[in-house]
Amino acid sequence: MKNFRWQILIAVIALLAVAVVLLSQSQVGETITQIIEPAAPGGVYVEGLVGTPSRFNPLLDEYNQVDQDVNRLVFSRMIRFDSWGNPQPELAESFGASVTGDIYNVQLRENVTWHDGMPVTTADVLFTIGLMRDAGIPLPADVRVLWNSVEVVAFDALHLQFKLPEPYAPFMDYLAFGILPKHILEGKSPQELINDPFNLLPVGSGPYKVVNLRSEAGQVTGVVLEAFEDYYMGTPLIEQIVIRYFDSSEDALAAYKAGEILGIGSVSPDTLDDVLAEPNLNIFSVRIPEMTMVLFNLGENSPIFFKDPIFRQAMMTALNRAWVIDQALDGQAVLANTPILMGSWAYFDQVQTYEYNPEDAVKILREGGYGLPADGSLVREKEGIRLSFELIYMDEPQHQMMAEMIRDYWAEVGVQVEITPIPADALYRDYLAPRNYEAALVDMALYDSPDPDPYPFWHQAMAVTGQNYSQWDDRRASEYLERARVIPDRFERTRLYRNFQIHFSRELPALPLFYKIFNYPIDQQVRGVQLGPLYDPADRFDQVYAWSLETRPIVEQAPEVETGGE
């Protein structure tokens, strides 16, 4: 059916996912849990976010992380996903798929209300889906296309059925959207909705409700939220959450040192050392859905040696990926061996791996017929074709250092690489999408798509116009992927994805380098925080209703706020 929203990251990566220093007692991929003392309600938690708010509306936050963070506190979804990518009930009481995989049934919880006291029903779900079908709402194309192909039936106020045109096992991903109140927004056009005051003082059904804004010179600088007493999971323990906005993580850290905030939503690499030096900050370091890879263009017009798995295996063996992580990323990543995210229920950790060994890389190349020419050149060749090609990368310092290190490692084994920086906004548009490149160092993301389905990147059907930018044309891999996305049975899907990863690790159509890590610094007086691998940074708030404060200033001591305008 539809492609996932796997995208090449062309935004400022530091604002979305930065940094990792693994806690000495924890490993990335495992849930990190504080020792929780008996919790008591009350207090004010203040978090600093780096960025500028725009609209507190889950249908309008696709391109603004700080909006997504607040929306996770305010709005509810039918389902959420745990750290393994398993669907869990949120507004839904129960859910399930037919044995054929083309019908999904959802039953909503009883007695769930909006912040204004009105009941949440299937009418609100249908209303929200209707908006997602409208071309006037700025959503990713795959979301709109999917919802225009799905028949949605509401049997009553609590029971829904989704009928797909064909079986599609990853469909649960698309049920994790924030639900909007029909009784408030009905009758508004998409353009009216985009500019509606609702987007600054929204009404949701989540654990916290927006009660006030702080503004300066017409710009929102803070948001005050109060615990929703009638929240269906129970009244949140922390009575108020205050969000403050900063231009940089350095400014946010300064605010923490001044005692103005207790947590920081994102940390730049330049700030990480200073954050780590704070004795009262706990740093939660977890995997997020970003992976750095080297793509080889395996199409007809690319270097012929790219099509040789022996060459690709040698290139992987020649890379000291651990040292690249240490030097270029300050240790803020974890080695990757498959294109499926570590921590996912489908991840298989017993694939063939390639440890750094330049001598073995040379041996692999020699046995593959790639030798040094008689003229004394240090560039290997086979049948008169030199191992020389261009590697493009995003034009920013971190990726430049990575590209330079990769170039130098490959030069040591007789492979000549010219590295070329490409502006971020042109990397996908002018090079990857038209397959106008030889090799590319890229960051790929699968935000908000916990289902591990790798079909869009690696299936044959995606090689020409889809997201299979490597143009890998492998029937065996494609069969695994075809079957896995139409079978609802989890055991069988796990087996198929295991086989796919084993096959991928042998063929190496691309080189998986490492997974990115998200660092979340939060003061040690905040208790009950539990984080495993995240599928979006906003997921850190999924159990915020269970957080508490070790010391609890009374609410009246919270900063005074002014009501903001539209």
d(CA 498, CA 350): 9
Average pLDDT over residues 190-202: 94
Average pLDDT of the residues of the chain: 90
Q: 470 to each of 391, 437, 461, how far by Cα in Å?
A: 13, 10, 12
278-313 b/e with 16+ CB inside 10 Å = b? beebbbbbbbbbbbbbbbbbbbeebbebbeeeebbb
Q: What mean pLDDT do residues 281-301 have?
A: 94
Average pLDDT over residues 209-218: 92
pLDDT tens-digit readout, 135-191: 999 998 889 999 999 999 999 999 999 999 999 999 999 999 999 999 999 999 999
Q: What is the pLDDT of residue 248?
A: 95
Return the axis-axis angle of helices 475-484 and 490-507, rounded to nearest 10°.
160
Contacts of 438 (CB under 8 A, 6+ apart): 296, 297, 302, 303, 306, 389, 390, 391, 392
Residue at 453 is within a domain: yes
* Same domain as 461, residue 323: yes
Is-contact 253 280, C-beta < 8 A?
no
Say what the pLDDT of residue 38 is.
53
- Asked whether residue 350 falls in the same domain as residue 364, the answer is yes
CA distance linking residue 422 with residue 428, whole number of Å:
10
Helix (H) or strand (E) holding 515: strand 510-523
Beta bridge partners of 388: 416
The per-residue b/e assignment along 487-517, b for 16 or more CB within 10 angstroms, e otherwise, is bbeeeebbbbbbbbbbebbeebbbbbbbbbb
In 297-364 the beta strands, taken as DSSP E runs, fall at 333-335
Interatomic CA distance for residues 286 and 284, integer angstroms: 6
| Residues 203, 327 within the same domain | no
Same domain, 297 and 208: no
Ramachandran sector of residue 268 (left: φ over 0; alpha: ψ -120 to 50; beta: rest): beta
Is residue 269 pLDDT above 80, yes or no? Answer: yes
How far from the centroid of its chain's Cα atoms is residue 90's Cα?
20
The stretch 372-400 carries a mean pLDDT of: 94
If we measure between CA atoms, which residue out of 306, 398, 377, 322 comes closest to residue 354? 322
| Same domain for 383 and 527 | no
Confidence band of 30 (pLDDT split at 50, 70, 90): very low
The dihedral through the CA atoms of 428, 346, 266, 278 has a sign that is negative
- Are 148 and 230 contained in the same domain? yes
Cα 226–chain centre separation? 28
Distance, CA of 275 to CA of 268 (rounded, Å) = 10
The reply to whether 353 and 377 lie within a common domain is: yes
Instruction: For residue range 485-503, list pLDDT tens digits in order.
Output: 999 999 999 999 999 999 9
The pLDDT of residue 551 is 62
Tell whether 172 is covered by a domain.
yes
Q: Is 499 part of a structural domain of the chain?
A: yes
Establish if 62 belongs to a structural domain: yes
- By three-state DSSP, how is residue 161 classified? strand
Dihedral (Cα; 25, 30, 31, 35), 10-degree rounding: -20
Could you give the count of Cα atoms lying within 13 Å of 395 in the half-sphere of its Cβ? Answer: 9
Task: Report the C-alpha gap between 511 and 10 in whole angstroms.
Answer: 20
Question: With 90 as the cut, is the pLDDT of residue 217 above it?
Answer: no
CB distance 232 to 112 below 8 Å? yes
- Please indicate, yes or no, whether residues 537 and 494 belong to a single structural domain of this protein: no
Over residues 246-252, the mean pLDDT reads: 96
pLDDT top residue among 431 and 36: 431
Work out the angle at residue 483's Cα, subtended by the Cα atoms of residues 446 and 467, and round it to the nearest 5 degrees: 35
Kindly state the percentage of the chain with pLDDT values over 70.
90
Residue 9 lies in a domain: no
Domains identified in the chain, total number: 2
Report the CATH number at residue 269: 3.40.190.10
Residue 41: the pLDDT is 85
Q: Which residues contact 141 (CB under 8 A, 6 or more apart)?
A: none
CB atoms within 10 A of CB 122: 20
Is the per-residue pLDDT at 530 higher than 70?
A: yes
Domain co-membership, 407 together with 540: no
47-98 pLDDT tens trace: 999 999 999 999 999 889 999 999 999 999 999 999 999 999 999 999 999 9
Q: What is the C-alpha to C-alpha distance for residues 236 and 209, in angstroms, rounded to an integer?
A: 11
Angle at 450 between CA 30 and CA 447, to 5 degrees: 100
Is residue 89 in some structural domain?
A: yes
Q: State mean pLDDT over 255-268.
A: 95
Exposed/middle/buried for residue 110 (C-beta within 10 Å: 0-12, 13-18, 19+): exposed
Same domain, 434 and 501: yes
The pair of structure tokens assigned to 41 is: 């309600």
- 262 and 180, same structural domain? yes
Tell me whether residue 10 is in a domain: no
Spatial strand order in the sheet of 103-108: 92-97, 103-108, 159-163, 151-154
Structural element, H or E, at residue 22: none
Q: Work out the pLDDT band at 34, boundaries 50, 70, 90.
A: very low
Residue span of the structural domain in which 365 resides: 287-517
Q: Is residue 160 part of a domain?
A: yes
202 and 308 assigned to the same domain = no
pLDDT digits (tens, 9 = 90+) for 315-362: 999 999 999 999 999 999 999 999 999 999 999 999 999 999 999 999
504: domain CATH number is 3.10.105.10
> Which tokens sit at 436?
């106008």
Gap between the Cα atoms of 320 and 323, Å rounded? 6
